[in-house]
Structure 1
Amino acid sequence: MLRKLLVSGAVLTGLLTANLCAADEGTVNVLYAGSLVNLMERSVGPAFEKETGLHFQGYAAGSNKIANEIKGKLRRGDVFISASPKVNTALMGATNGDHVSWYVNFAESPLMIGYNPQSRFAADFKKKRWDQVLQEPGIRIGRTDPKLDPKGAFTVQMMTKAAELYHQPDLVQKTLGAPDNPEQVLPEETLVGRLQSGQLDAGFFYSTETSDLKIPAFRPAPELQARASYTLTILNDAPNANGATRFVDFLLGASGRALLKEHGVDVIKPTVTGNAQAVPSSLHAVIDAAQ
């Protein structure tokens, strides 16, 4: 009797394990830069599910924050999409945990200054230069943490350049305050929502966010230009490597690239950095076709 119970228990455990594995194989976990929330959750994810039958599970946050969580083994995923190639470099090599062997640059998006059209400062943006409006008393500005998100770092860099270009040595202090100013620094995935709800008057966003959500925005002078350089990779310890490959195949394919363009992302010629031999063979054809 005991033997029968043990055998039954072993069979049951095997079935549960098989079901869990099947569930894992049917879900693709995509960790992505918070500036892509609307694109991923409302467009790419649903389209991917419809075309492949697989389930898209997304997690959005600042690129550096995600990388830190991967490195600290606090989060696992199949695909990682960042807004800066440097973030991938921090995950490559044995000393960095060997989480990433290669990545593909596939799109770009310039940094913009967006504002709420209902804000009491909205009219000023139409009459004055944007940096002058950002210095007005009472204006509520939102940005991301330069330590956790490339967009936050780009914001500080752009404002530092603007201080030189416009001969205003105290511009950064007047507009941003300290790099980690708690009155401005917010999680990337919440920044758009706070602007739209009226909690912010203005903020720093990528063009994919302003274009996609019809946020009025200004592009700074060419001398101040900063932009996201979106990259993607399949993590070396991806629980669902096959599903990850199908997701990358979709995003870099004709359907995915069309969706990126619809959402205001500048699609570029895909380029591979790192160990190209580690790239799944099926993806080489997709990358070559997108040249």
Structure 2
Amino acid sequence: MIRKLFASIVAIVAIAGVVMAAPVVAQDNTVNVLYAGSLVNLMERSVGPAFEKATGQQFRGYAAGSNKIANEIKGKLRRGDVFISASPKVNGSLMGEANGDHVTWYVNFAESPLMIGYNPRSRFAADFGSKRWDQVLQEPGIRIGRTDPKLDPKGAFTVEMMTRAAELYHQPDLVEKTLGAADNPAQVLPEETLVGRLQSGQLDAGFFYSTETADLKIPAIRPAPELQAKASYTLTILSDAPNHAGASRFVDFLLSAQGRALLKQHGVDVVKPTVSGNVQAMPPSVQAVIDAAQ
């Protein structure tokens, strides 16, 4: 009787051990990618599935404003394997001992200029074809969407571009008339929801990167060259990445010929990869892919 009881206990412990071990195996096969919200469609519908097919790894994405993600990483509210930002400056907030040493290197790999996108079914749509874009944005009743300049580089670029436009077009009150306060709650929205709100008709116009307007066929106006602002996308493997090997495979894939082709298909301007920070800390495979792309 005692032998049977002992055998049963051993069996239960063994089963429990398998159950407890299962999530660890699953985690080792999952790559958590924290990325700028302007890349939602690209990552979730194209890069993620293609990466899974090519490597057998599981892609899990989280999209938000780049600064918001950095703040969450710094505050230990979110962990990830790969971080893709829309501005190199954001990486600086995660580098060095004082900032937690979350990032030691990063690669600039793509760019995307800021555009004014609009809903083709909006009652203001025709005006974008007959008037200068800043004049349309001042029309009574137009609903404009943008991101928070404190949480997202695109939001900061928007305010900067409108400030320069005020000077270029000799309209001192342009920013006040079009944007209102920097944190205007009637306009400021999470980056990952901005496109959906425009497409659903909740917004008439908004500020988007070219990757968003080109990828989703959103009619858009490119500002004058003097006003140009653009996202400069970077990627890195976070120092405390739970799945460092999987992260390396994701970065290798995104910087490979196949990954770069997917970026181009989604309206991203692919640039020659350049590395900042401690180059020696990069995985050899990533360095090899960068060398091949030169």
State the TM-score bracket (shorter-chain normalisation).
Answer: over 0.9
Whether 1:33 and 2:36 are equivalent positions in the alignment is yes
Local SS of the residue matching 2:126: helix
Shift of 1:132: 0.3
CA RMSD of aligned residues (A): 1.3
Task: Name the CA distance, whole Å, in 2 between partners of 1:271 and 1:50.
Answer: 27
Match of residue 205, structure 2, among 191, 202, 207: 202
Shift of 1:18: 2.9
Partner letter of residue 153 of structure 1?
A
Cα deviation digits, residues 46-96 of structure 1 (max 9, x gap)? 111111111110000000000011111111111000000011110011110
Which residue pairs with 1:183 in the alignment? 186
Match of residue 73, structure 1, among 76, 83, 95: 76
- Residues 45-64 of structure 1 aligned to structure 2 (within 5 Å): 45-64=48-67
Structure 1 runs of 4+ with >3 Å offset: 1-14
Which residue pairs with 1:250 in the alignment? 253
Which residue pairs with 1:284 in the alignment? 287
Structure 1: which 5+ runs fail to align? none
Task: Name the CA distance, whole Å, in 2 between partners of 1:94 and 1:15.
Answer: 39
Shift of 1:240: 0.6
Which residue pairs with 1:91 in the alignment? 94
Local SS of the residue matching 1:122: coil
Cα deviation digits, residues 183-232 of structure 1 (max 9, x gap)? 00000000000000000000000000000000000110111000000000
Match of residue 211, structure 1, among 202, 207, 214: 214
Which residue pairs with 1:108 in the alignment? 111
Shift of 1:17: 4.1
> Could you say if the C-alpha distance between residues 98 and 17 of structure 1 is closer, same or farther in structure 2, counting changes exceeding 3 Å?
farther
Shift of 1:25: 1.1
Local SS of the residue matching 1:272: strand
Task: Name the CA distance, whole Å, in 1 between partners of 2:286 and 2:222.
Answer: 35
Task: Name the CA distance, whole Å, in 2 between partners of 1:173 and 1:5.
Answer: 74
**Greater CA drift, 9-18 or 186-195:** 9-18
Which residue pairs with 2:121 in the alignment? 118
Larger radius of gyration, structure 1 or 2?
Answer: 2
Local SS of the residue matching 1:60: strand
TM-score, length of structure 2 as denominator length? 0.96
Cα deviation digits, residues 1-46 of structure 1 (max 9, x gap)? 6976775565445433432221011111100000000000000011
Whether 1:165 and 2:168 are equivalent positions in the alignment is yes
Partner letter of residue 257 of structure 1?
R
Identity, % of aligned positions? 81
Task: Name the CA distance, whole Å, in 1 between partners of 2:235 and 2:135.
Answer: 37
